[in-house]
């Protein structure tokens, strides 16, 4: 098995701090698309949580309403 050079981790860490600017441009279309994707994911998670919480509450309210309209005995 080959051994790593002891300077390899030091060179890797130093190279992370010596990076140049990317000179990249994010246009309005890509920016708005990224915002739309993020909002879509957040809203879908919120709707899923709401559905998981709401349906048992709705079922319990319906059962209570049915018990109030049809009293036994």
Tens place of pLDDT for every residue, the chain, 73 residues?
Answer: 678 788 888 998 998 888 777 777 888 999 899 999 999 999 999 999 999 998 888 889 988 888 888 766 5
The answer to whether the pTM exceeds 0.95 is: no
Task: Name the maximum alpha-carbon separation found in the chain.
Answer: 86
As a whole number of angstroms, the distance between CA 23 and CA 12 comes to: 22
Residue position matching structure tokens 């309209």:
69
């Amino acid at each position: 098995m080959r051994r790593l050079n002891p300077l390899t981790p030091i060179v890797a860490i130093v190279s992370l701090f010596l990076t140049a600017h990317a000179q990249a441009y994010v246009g309005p279309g890509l920016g708005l698309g990224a915002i739309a994707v993020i909002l879509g994911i957040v809203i879908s998670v919120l709707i899923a949580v709401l559905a998981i919480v709401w349906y048992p509450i709705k079922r319990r309210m319906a059962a209570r309403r049915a018990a109030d309209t049809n009293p036994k005995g």
